[in-house]
Amino acid sequence: MQVFDLDAQTLELDYALAAEGELSAGNLILPLNRLAELDQVSGKKGLLIKGGDEIEDLDLPLDQLDLIQIHFDNFNDGRGYSIAHLLRRSGFTGDLLATGDVFKDVVFYLKRAGFTLFEPRDEAIAQEAAGGLTTFSKPYQASTAQSADHYQTGK
């Protein structure tokens, strides 16, 4: 899967979405409903969370996950931002991958919510979407990506 990172560099991620009912060897992303199978993954471990998934009451093994993919069906569904923020506050330090309806106008805000990798639905707009990372040079509010308020630091 081809994604871009916080430096707008294109990367090839060596992960596959686990097929229904089977686990192949290698780096896998499991859907949330298959979380119990995580210990059977031989390579790097990823988890797919969708905006409508309820994770607040789950005991996610964040220390065992290398990547969490959060899928946005529509750009106007903000639940993925809340999930990302919750995961970062809970101590997840791995990569957060935003997939689905990801484009230039939302990438900056995804970064502020803690996302580190981005995969637009349409590869043709990936380069344009990467330009959204620098929409603003100095954000005003603190966030997961910036712990201090700009107006307080003066920087």
pTM over 0.75: yes
Mean predicted lDDT score pLDDT of the chain? 83
Judged by DSSP in three states, 109 sits in helix
Q: For 4-57, how does the pLDDT look when each residue is reduced to its tens digit (9 = 90+)? A: 888 888 889 999 998 887 777 889 999 999 999 999 998 999 999 998 888 888
Q: What is the CATH number of domain 1-14+60-123?
A: 3.40.50.2300
Judged by DSSP in three states, 105 sits in helix
Give residue limits of the domains in the chain. 1-14+60-123
Cα–Cα dist 126/14, whole Å: 18
